[in-house]
Amino acid sequence: MSINEQPSLSGLSSSNLGYPRIGGNREWKKALERFWQGSIDESELHREMKRLRLEHLSKQRDKGIDRIPVGDFSYYDHMLDTSVMFGLVPERFNYRPVGPVPLSVYFGIARGQKGAAASEMTKWMNTNYHYIVPELANVAPVLTENKPLLAYREAKQELGIDGKPVLIGPYSFVVLSKGYNRKDLGAIIRTFLPLYAQVLSELAAEGVQWVQIDEPVLTTSFPVEDLEIIQEVYEALTQAAPSLNIMLQTYFGSLDHYERLTKLPVQGLGLDFVYDDGENLQHISRHGFPKGKTLGAGVIDGRNIWRSDLNAVAALLSQLAEQIPATQLIVQPSCSLLHVPVSLDAEHKLDRELVHALAFADEKLEEIAILTAALGKHDPSALAMLEQSAEAVARFNSSAARVQTAADLADLLAKEPLSRSVPFAERRVIQQNKLKLPPLPTTTIGSFPQTAEIRKARLHYRKGEWSAEQYRTFIQQQIKEWIDIQEDIGIDVLVHGEFERTDMVEFFGEKLKGFAFTQNGWVQSYGSRCVKPPIIYGDVSFDQPMTVEETAFAQSLTSKPVKGMLTGPVTILNWSFERNDIPRRQVALQLALALRAEVEALEQAGIRMIQVDEPAIREGLPLKKEQQQAYLDWAVQAFLVTTATAQPATQIHTHMCYSEFQEMIQSISDMDADVISIETSRSHGELIVSFEDQIYDKGIGLGVYDIHSPRIPDVSEMLGMIQRALRVLPSDLFWVNPDCGLKTRTKEESVAALRQMVQAAQAARATL
Ligand code: GLN
Ligand code: ZN
């Protein structure tokens, strides 16, 4: 569209839904960790947090955002903030909330404390952010403080900003909690309503105009009968504060119950127009949008890092403006910007062409401001920027960086074997003849402790202080040390230990084609832990062997089998920022083909077992039920492309964690791995149960101890776990292993625990 054709949407305004907490240089993380270590005190922590909070608010104002969220900032997690605001301190912390919950209790719930385990954490919807799961059992909610009100006052007093308080809505809050029976959902939600009512009426009394109430569960396939309680909730909340405007905010997808939800007694509805497969726009065109209500149009991608074609977004906004007066239309990101890095300012090393195609949080706010100025005020320089962004995006999409060498994958797949040449029952015999493993074989999941010494060595190497040869020698020493340890302990299937890897995705990304790495592209994963996901910008392909040297070296030191260790295609995809110009499935298949080349290289080097980790397979599962099977189908396909050409004698392992497997057991079985190892504590024995139904009938290693805790379980406890499993599982398919990699544990803890584990396996064998 040319500049003059852009519609004039006078009265259009802008908003943001949430801003990253971590700071441009991860100051937030550093302050928290210093506090936990005891090197700063509580008042210094509060000072630093306040400084960051205010800095983030002024930044949003300076970028020209009209409605600035307040109260989205957190010392750990916004769900945990809500829990403590409602006094939900689990009994084991021995604390009865009266006023504001002290920081020590807050961090205790998040991280555990002496005598009281931390609350569970889990993935926030389908993102890689983890929230602390509220525990509702045996506690009556009480309002300990009005956190959004405090945030609002602070922004007003310190900066003169009339902020928009953000709260997680009662429906999503309770649905995402645990410790109650689903059939009591309505009753539980009702116990929270008076507290929400009080929060909102106090906000109204303070003069707040708009409040943002997040209800992310509304974009999932929630039971239709929940609509009644949702209706009841919003009736109660509007009655509690009639003068307040509620923006009911949804994100990560479209609304299945658009007509019902638009009728809720709220003043505004926030919709995602990026991850909705075009459905939200269709709903609006088909059913209209209620008169008098405000639409928060989530048109800028809040969770991926690509720059927007603002011309295209302007076209979408004009379409919306046909139904909704511009004064009731708000330009905003599709979700909170919590999920993207802070700013491109620090990226000096990235390819310039790529940088011009990216937008992190700050740049996204600029995009929102540009759109608002261009369409709302017909600002000439903003209008010119719409054009510029369209050109930049088009230029990048047709650049060499994107490549389009990948043959049509559909064709390619038609030629590819998508199952192994021999079925599991036969492979098993072939493999066992070759491997001669004892019953209940013992193994580990791959990584051994990443000690300070290893991190230091890597730093020396990265800074150029060590030569490649020095670093290689160091890694080989580590491998040798741990091969000796494993042999000494008596483990049956050994691993090399993954000492050369920083991170299971970054390591492969750095060696494959099509990936880029930022210097400072951190996002919060959980608590103070941040991750720096690689960017998949172009076609992914194999360049050279990635793991053969270390694996073959380890194998050369022992006559026991060493298991090669790869990260699977779906996990690499789910833990990266992915390109948005081709379907995800296609990227997964490109990754699979590249990893298959690695499987072949390992086989050629004489490796007899290869584990392809897919811990993240579950988190890519679409929120909508009807889309889940298609995802699982291509995820399985990608795993098979990676592994199916392996020789029948090569034993393929896989590993999954953080998973609830219920709905995906058939798919896991279709992956046709010879052995799967899974985390037990959080998978609730679902795979064991499915053995009873004979859905899963291949090798299985149930984690016999939890590596997330420094506690070393004794032999009898692990033996008990093994025997319980053997009541259901055939003993000739059962493996004994910890439930995840040991990289976060110390050497002493790992060695002690593995010794006990081997003893437990021996004791179990004696009873067979
Ligand atoms: N092989 C990896 C490790 O041991 C698996 C990690 C994971 O499951 N997240 O660290
Ligand atoms: Zn794991």
User: Is residue 348 annotated as involved in ligand binding?
Assistant: no
Half-sphere exposure of 132 (CA within 13 A, CB side): 29
**Distance between CA atoms of 403 and 389, rounded to whole angstroms?**
21
- Burial-class residue 654 by CB neighbours within 10 Å (0-12, 13-18, 19+): buried
How far lies 648's CA from each of 39, 286, 423, 508, in Å?
A: 56, 55, 8, 25
Determine whether the shortest distance from the Cβ of 446 to ligand 1 is under 6 A: yes
For ligand 1, atom 4: residue with the closest CA: 741
**Distance between CA atoms of 32 and 38, rounded to whole angstroms?**
10
User: Is residue 335 annotated as involved in ligand binding?
Assistant: no
CA 165, 249, 27 angle in degrees (round to 5)? 55
**Distance between CA atoms of 768 and 766, rounded to whole angstroms?**
6
**Distance between CA atoms of 516 and 347, rounded to whole angstroms?**
12
* Residue 31 CB contacts under 8 Å (≥ 6 apart), including other chains: 40, 45, 48, 49, 52
Distance 562 CA to ligand 1 centre (A): 16
Residue to mutate (ligand 1; options 445, 496, 737; most atoms within 8 A of CB): 445
For ligand 1, atom 6: residue with the closest CA: 741
Widest CA span of the chain, in angstroms? 83
- Please tell me the predicted confidence (pLDDT) of residue 309: 98
Write out the H or E segment, with its range, that includes residue 295.
strand 294-300
User: Is residue 626 annotated as involved in ligand binding?
Assistant: no
Which atom, in ligand 1's list, is nearest to the CA of 446?
4
CA 9, 335, 664 angle in degrees (round to 5)? 135
User: Is residue 27 annotated as involved in ligand binding?
Assistant: yes
CB atoms within 10 A of CB 434: 14
| Residues of the chain predicted below pLDDT 50 | none
Give strand pairing partners of 210.
245
User: Is residue 466 annotated as involved in ligand binding?
Assistant: no
For ligand 1, atom 1: residue with the closest CA: 446
Annotated catalytic, 378? no
Token pair recorded at residue 92: 């084991």
Considering every ligand atom shown, identify the ligand nearest to the alpha carbon of residue 612 and give its number. 1
For ligand 1, atom 10: residue with the closest CA: 741
- 8 A C-beta contact, residue 678 and residue 703: yes
- 8 A C-beta contact, residue 443 and residue 563: yes
Determine whether the shortest distance from the Cβ of 657 to ligand 1 is under 6 A: yes
- 8 A C-beta contact, residue 694 and residue 728: no
Write out the H or E segment, with its range, that includes residue 537.
strand 535-541
- Please tell me the predicted confidence (pLDDT) of residue 404: 66
Which atom, in ligand 1's list, is nearest to the CA of 565?
1
For ligand 1, atom 5: residue with the closest CA: 741
Which atom, in ligand 1's list, is nearest to the CA of 567?
1
User: Is residue 123 annotated as involved in ligand binding?
Assistant: yes
Residue to mutate (ligand 1; options 504, 611, 657; most atoms within 8 A of CB): 504
Determine whether the shortest distance from the Cβ of 504 to ligand 1 is under 6 A: yes
**Distance between CA atoms of 412 and 324, rounded to whole angstroms?**
46
CB atoms within 10 A of CB 98: 9
How far lies 385's CA from each of 95, 195, 332, 358, 695, in Å?
A: 55, 46, 18, 15, 56
Token pair recorded at residue 144: 């300990």
Residue with tokens 């295209």: 312
Determine whether the shortest distance from the Cβ of 617 to ligand 1 is under 6 A: no
For residue 329, how far is the Cα from the chain centroid? Answer: 31
Considering every ligand atom shown, identify the ligand nearest to the alpha carbon of residue 741 and give its number. 1
Which atom, in ligand 1's list, is nearest to the CA of 445?
4
Active-site residue among 257, 378, 460, 708? 708
Q: How much is the CA Rg of the chain, to the nearest whole Å?
A: 27
- 8 A C-beta contact, residue 475 and residue 499: yes
Determine whether the shortest distance from the Cβ of 613 to ligand 1 is under 6 A: yes
Distance 613 CA to ligand 2 centre (A): 8
Considering every ligand atom shown, identify the ligand nearest to the alpha carbon of residue 499 and give its number. 1
Residue to mutate (ligand 1; options 501, 572, 619, 655; most atoms within 8 A of CB): 655
- 8 A C-beta contact, residue 251 and residue 335: yes
For ligand 1, atom 9: residue with the closest CA: 615
Distance 741 CA to ligand 1 centre (A): 5
CB atoms within 10 A of CB 33: 15
User: Is residue 513 annotated as involved in ligand binding?
Assistant: no
**Distance between CA atoms of 661 and 97, rounded to whole angstroms?**
36
| 433: nearest Cα among 671, 672, 605, 608 | 608
Considering every ligand atom shown, identify the ligand nearest to the alpha carbon of residue 613 and give its number. 1
Distance 557 CA to ligand 1 centre (A): 23
**Distance between CA atoms of 206 and 70, rounded to whole angstroms?**
14
Token pair recorded at residue 167: 């709260």
Distance 447 CA to ligand 1 centre (A): 6
* Residue 464 CB contacts under 8 Å (≥ 6 apart), including other chains: none
For ligand 1, atom 3: residue with the closest CA: 741
**Distance between CA atoms of 590 and 449, rounded to whole angstroms?**
31
User: Is residue 306 annotated as involved in ligand binding?
Assistant: no
CB atoms within 10 A of CB 172: 22
**Distance between CA atoms of 96 and 510, rounded to whole angstroms?**
50
| 317: nearest Cα among 372, 276, 385 | 372
Determine whether the shortest distance from the Cβ of 565 to ligand 1 is under 6 A: yes
pTM score above 0.90: yes
Strands 563-567 and 609-613, sheet pairing: parallel
Q: Where are the beta strands (DSSP E) in 223-264?
A: 245-249
